[in-house]
Chain A
Amino acid sequence: MAQDTLLEVDGLTVRFPSVHGPIEAVRDISFAMGREKIAIVGESGSGKSMTARAILDLIRPPGERIARSIRLDGTDLTRLSPRQMRQVRGGRITMVMQDPKYSLNPTMSVGAQLYENWLIHVGKPKRLSRAAGQKAVLEMLEAVQINDPPRVARSFPHELSGGMGQRVMIAMMLIPQPELMIADEPTSALDVTVQMEVLKLMDGLVARNGMGLLFISHDLPLVSRFCDRVLIMYRGRIVEECRADRLHEAQHPYTQGLLSCLPSYAQRGHPLATLSRDAGWEVAP
C-alpha cells in the first residue's frame, strides 16, 4: 500500500483563538491512506469534523490550519492557490458534511442541483444530452434508495426528511466520481437496511474506481464491519490506529471504554457504563 498512497496528512493542526487562549481542535496529527476505507472515530468534540474540513481548507477564519503538507496523490494541497483548491473541492475530493441539508442550496430543487453537478462533471466533459442528465439524476436518487425519485427531485431541501437529506448529499458527492470522498456521519439518520445499501454503493466505488473513502462515524459496530482501518481520535489527537475487524481488541482505554457503553435490551434497568476521562489518555499507549 505504501506505493499507492492517495492521501498523506503530515503535521496537521487546527486552532481557534479565544479569550482564554487558543483552542486546538486538532493537534499535530499525521496519517496516510491508500484507495481504501478509513474510519475516524472518537468522542464528540474530538476533532473529527475539523480534520475533514482542514483537508479541504474549509476552516473559517479566525480559525487557522497549520500543516507541513497534505498530499493528494502527490500534489501538496497546502501549496495550491485558492482557485486551484476550488477545483479540487467538489471534483477530486468531495465531502458529505455532517449537516447535509444546510450544504444544499435552499432555493433550488434537489433535482436541479443534482443536474447542475452532473453537467459540470459528467455532461459537459462527455458532451452528453440533457435527457441523459435527467435520467442520471433519477438513477442516482434510486441508487441511494430514495422511494419516489421524481417527487424527491422536485422537492426543495427543507422538504426532505433527515435521512433523505443525507442520501441526496451522498448522491451529489458521488456524481463527480472523486478520487477521495470524505463522509462525515453520512448515514447517522438511516436505519440499518437502507444504511447497508448506501454503504454498498460507496464500497462499489472504492472497489471499482479505486476511490478512497474517509468515513467519519461514531458507530463503532458499523465501522468495524464496513471499513478497512480505524483511526481513533481523542481531544484533537490520533491516539490509536487499528484494523477495523480488530476494533474489539483495541488497546487504548478510551477505545475500550467506548465499546463498553453501548445500550442493549440486556442493559435495561441498569445505568449504562460511562467514561471517566483521564488526562493520560491524550498520549498514545
Chain B
Amino acid sequence: MNKNPSSGMIEVQDLSVRYGDFVAVKGVSFSVAAGETFGLVGESGSGKSTILQALAGLADDWSGSMSVDGLALVAGARRSLAFRKHLQMVFQDPYGSLHPHQTVDQILSSPARIHGFGSIDRRIAEVMEAVGLGPQFRFRLPHQLSGGQRQRVAIARALIVEPKVLLLDEPTSALDASVQAEILNLLVTLRHERGLTYLLVTHDLSVVAYLCDRLAVMEKGSFVETQPIEALETGAFDQDYTRRLFAAAAR
C-alpha cells in the first residue's frame, strides 16, 4: 500500500461494484477532503449502501480505485488492524450488525480491546453516555433493546475506537427527533474536536442540509449530480429526480 499524502481523505475513482451478474454501482468517482462531510442521497436500491460496503471491504467484486487517507485499497486483500481502526462504519440495519448473543458491554469492549485501548470500562461508560444510553442498558442483549437503542449501540461501537473516517448509513433513520438531535450534535462536536471525515447516506434531506458540505445524488448505480450544500437552500439542481426529491421534501 503506497501512501499519497496529496489526495483527499477518501478518493474513489471509477468504482463499479457487482453482485454476480448484477452491477449495483457503475463507474462512480468522488473525493472527500479531511474534515469534510459528504452526503449520498438517492433512490432506494440505487447503490448507496453498496459504495459504503465496498469502502469498508465488505463487497469484494469491485473495479476502479479507492483510497482512504492515501492508502490504496486492494480488492480481496486483508486490511491492516490500523486501517480498520481508522475507518469505521455504522450499518443501515442495526439488527444484522450486532452479535445477538453479546451484551452491549461485550459489543463495545471487544473492538476497544482489539485496537489496544486501555481503561475500557471508563471508555464504555463515556461512549454510552455520548449516544444517550444510560448504564441500565450495559448488560442487555440486542433483542432486549428498542430499534433506536440498537442503532445507538452501533454508533457507539464505531466511535469507541476513535476512527478518523466514519461511514454512516442512515445513522439516525431509526431515531426520534430528540435522539436524532443528540446524535447530530455529537457528530458535529467530534468533527470539530477531532477533524473526523464523514461519508453519510440518508434519505432525509434535512439531515443532509444540517450536517453535510456537499451532496451527491444517485440513481440506478450512478451519480447523477454532485452539488454544494447551498443547493438545498436554493433548489438549484440539474436533474429531474433531484428536483422532485427537493420539492417533495420542502412540502
Contacts and interface: CB of A to CB of B under 8 A. Distances in A.
Interface of A: 16, 20, 41-45, 48-49, 60, 98-99, 101-102, 145-147, 151, 159, 161-164, 167, 185, 188-194, 196, 218, 220, 225, 257-259, 261-265, 267-268, 271-275
Nearest to A259: B177
Contacts of A262: 177, 181, 206
Interface string B111-150: 0000000000000000000000000100000011111110
Interface stretch (B41-49, B58-66, B81-89, B160-168): B41-49
A78 to B, nearest CB: 24
B248 interface: yes
A275 to B, nearest CB: 4
A225 B251 CA distance: 10
A145 B43 CA distance: 11
B185 interface: yes
**From A188, A191, A261, A268, residue with most partner B Cβ within 10 Å:** A191
B245 interface: yes
Given A164-B44, A185-B147, A102 B96 contact: yes
B71 interface: no
A167 B249 CA distance: 20
B173 interface: yes
Contact of B175 (A60, A99, A192, A218): A218
Interface in B23-43: 41-43
A24 B223 CA distance: 47
Given A42-B176, A218-B176, A220-B177, A191 B43 contact: yes
Contacts of B175: 44, 218
Contacts of B152: 44
Given A16-B144, A145-B44, A185-B174, 6 more contacts: A45-B149, A102-B96, A147-B43, A191-B245, A192-B205, A263-B181
Nearest to A216: B147
B109 interface: no
A189 B203 contact: yes
A145 B143 CA distance: 31
B42 A273 contact: no
Interface stretch (B1-9, B72-80, B207-215): B207-215
A196 B210 CA distance: 23
Contacts of A275: 178
B249 A263 contact: no
Interface in B150-193: 152, 169-170, 173-182, 184-185, 188
Nearest to B212: A268
B144 to A, nearest CB: 7
A257 B178 contact: yes
A272 B184 contact: yes
A45 B93 contact: no
A272 B146 contact: no
Given A101-B93, A191-B42, A274-B181, A163 B203 contact: yes
Contacts of A220: 177
A272 B181 contact: yes
A161 B49 contact: yes
A115 to B, nearest CB: 21
Most buried by A among B143, B176, B206, B233: B176
Given A188-B173, A193-B244, A268 B179 contact: no
A44 B181 contact: no
CB-based closest 3 A-B pairs: A44-B148, A163-B44, A263-B210
A225 B27 CA distance: 39
B49 A193 contact: no
A268 B209 contact: yes
A274 B147 contact: no
A45 B148 contact: yes
A265 B44 contact: no
A255 to B, nearest CB: 10
Contacts of B22: 151
B226 to A, nearest CB: 17
Contacts of A159: 19
B179 A44 contact: yes
Contacts of B182: 274
A167 B45 CA distance: 11
Contacts of B92: 162, 189
B206 A49 contact: no
Contacts of A263: 180-181, 184, 206-207, 209-211
A48 B174 CA distance: 12
A261 B245 contact: no
